[in-house]
Amino acid sequence: MTPPATRDNFVPALLAWFDAHQRPMPWRARAGQTPNPYHVLLSEAMLQQTQVATVVPYFLRFIDAFPTIDALARANEQQVLRLWQGLGYYSRAHNLLKAARMVVERFDGMVPRTVDELLTLPGVGRYTAGAIASIAYDTHAPILDGNVVRVLCRIDALRRDPRDKAVQFQLWARAESLLPDCRTGDFNQSMMELGATVCTPKNPSCLICPVQQMCRAHAQGIQDRIPPAKQTKPLKAERRWVFCVQRCDGKYLIEQRPPIGRWAGMWQFISVEAATDMITPAVARAACGYALKGLTPLATVHHTLTHRQYQFDAYRGTAKARANAISPRRWATLAEMEELPFSKPQLAIRKRLGESE
Ligand code: SF4
């Protein structure tokens, strides 16, 4: 009979494993050091929906450019978006900047210690608040992210769908029931680490798992079926035409996206929804505001987001344009564009354009 996981048997086994096997991460405090709450806040913002290996270089560039939360609060949105470029989910960057400014204005530049205060910051939900409070200050707060959910469901052989609200409620309570009185931050990190490196979604490494003795899914041989697979919906397909319009001095026409919505505040070549199958000079002229000469295909770029699949069909052409473009449009060389934040698909088009010059 497998004993249930409790604070007494689960916590020491997991913490001992974490002490020996945790991966070094630049935002983690070394032994004997106190965590830097700003680094914890920044890393948690970046780690949402994103893997550690992807985040590390972004994190290092960020703390190099903005060594303190005050420095970040003083940054402008374009600087922050440019550094975030390529990391995706850009609402996180907007929220991070707002949160930094709020920390400076309302909390004297100190990242809050309590979950309730952290929840007042933009972009901070229950998971992030618990993670920051516990990791930065050892505040007694549980966390529940995808990795922790998987570990909890498996140790209890919980077969129900963890996306169900009632199950979520149960899992939060279960996470709290295991939370130790001290080393809370380490415990929360060890749960996430176990889920990321040992109790993985497919083929979990049960043979080397430090909590195998108290795992009911393993005892029953059903770990691969827990949690149940998500029903995937077909992605919505979206098609865009992108016009790389060049004028006689070599500059290209670009535009800034609106301040809200996808890729908010970032820059792009002139992009419009592809309303028909065929591109025509009239459509190109209406989109760009100039009659284009030599309109030729440049590239097709596919980009997949959580719920959408984009196809960008890019064309290049020249315009007899002398006048300055009106904001939010401007003319820029490829070198000048390097300083501006572009989304990943627009960067791919820009790269192709550079190669074709
Ligand atoms: Fe996950 Fe296997 Fe460990 Fe259970 S024994 S927690 S299924 S890795």
Could you state, in order of their start, the residue ranges of all structural domains in the chain?
7-225, 236-356
Pocket perturbation via mutation, ligand 1, pick of 14, 155, 202 by most ligand atoms within 8 A of CB: 155
Task: Tell me the pLDDT tens digit for each residue of 58-76.
Answer: 999 999 999 999 999 999 9
Report residue 6's pLDDT band, with 50, 70 and 90 as the boundaries. very high
Task: Tell me the pLDDT tens digit for each residue of 8-23.
Answer: 999 999 999 999 999 9
Query: How many angstroms separate the alpha carbon of residue 180 from the centre of ligand 1?
Result: 20
Q: Are 192 and 145 in contact (CB under 8 A)?
A: yes
More confident residue, 294 or 324: 294
Helices (H) and strands (E) counted in the chain, each on its own, are 15, 6
Beta carbon of 155 within 6 Å of any ligand 1 atom: yes
Q: Determine the average pLDDT of the residues in 238-255.
A: 95
Q: Rounded to an integer, what distance in angstroms lies between the CA atom of residue 127 and that of residue 117? A: 13
Residue 31 has pLDDT above 80, yes or no: no
Beta carbon of 149 within 6 Å of any ligand 1 atom: no
Query: How many angstroms separate the alpha carbon of residue 217 from the centre of ligand 1?
Result: 7
Q: What are phi and psi of 154, to 5 degrees?
A: -75, -40
Residue 324 has pLDDT above 90, yes or no: no
Distances (CA, A) of 193 to 25, 165, 215, 236: 11, 25, 17, 33
Question: Does 2.10.25.10 match the CATH number of domain 7-225?
Answer: no
Q: Are 269 and 253 in contact (CB under 8 A)?
A: yes
Q: Are 63 and 39 in contact (CB under 8 A)?
A: yes
Protein residue whose Cα sits closest to atom 1 of ligand 1: 199
Beta carbon of 214 within 6 Å of any ligand 1 atom: no
Task: Tell me the pLDDT tens digit for each residue of 117-168.
Answer: 999 999 999 999 999 999 999 999 999 999 999 999 999 999 999 999 999 9
Query: How many angstroms separate the alpha carbon of residue 276 from the centre of ligand 1?
Result: 52
Q: Are 311 and 231 in contact (CB under 8 A)?
A: no
Query: Residue 342 has what DSSP assignment?
Result: B
The CB-side HSE value for 253 (13 A sphere, CA atoms) comes to: 31
Distance, first Cα to last Cα, the chain: 70
Q: Are 7-225 and 236-356 the same fold in CATH?
A: no
More confident residue, 357 or 173: 173
Residues facing residue 238 across a β-bridge: 310
CATH architecture under which domain 236-356 falls: Alpha-Beta Complex (3.90)
Q: Determine the average pLDDT of the residues in 306-320.
A: 93
Beta carbon of 209 within 6 Å of any ligand 1 atom: yes
At 41, which amino acid appears?
Answer: L
Pocket perturbation via mutation, ligand 1, pick of 10, 178, 198, 220 by most ligand atoms within 8 A of CB: 198
- pLDDT at position 143: 97
Beta carbon of 216 within 6 Å of any ligand 1 atom: no
Whole-number mean pLDDT of the chain? 95
Q: Are 50 and 87 in contact (CB under 8 A)?
A: yes
At 34, which amino acid appears?
Answer: T
Catalytic residue set: 44
Q: Are 155 and 215 in contact (CB under 8 A)?
A: yes
Cis peptide before 227 (omega within 30 of 0): yes
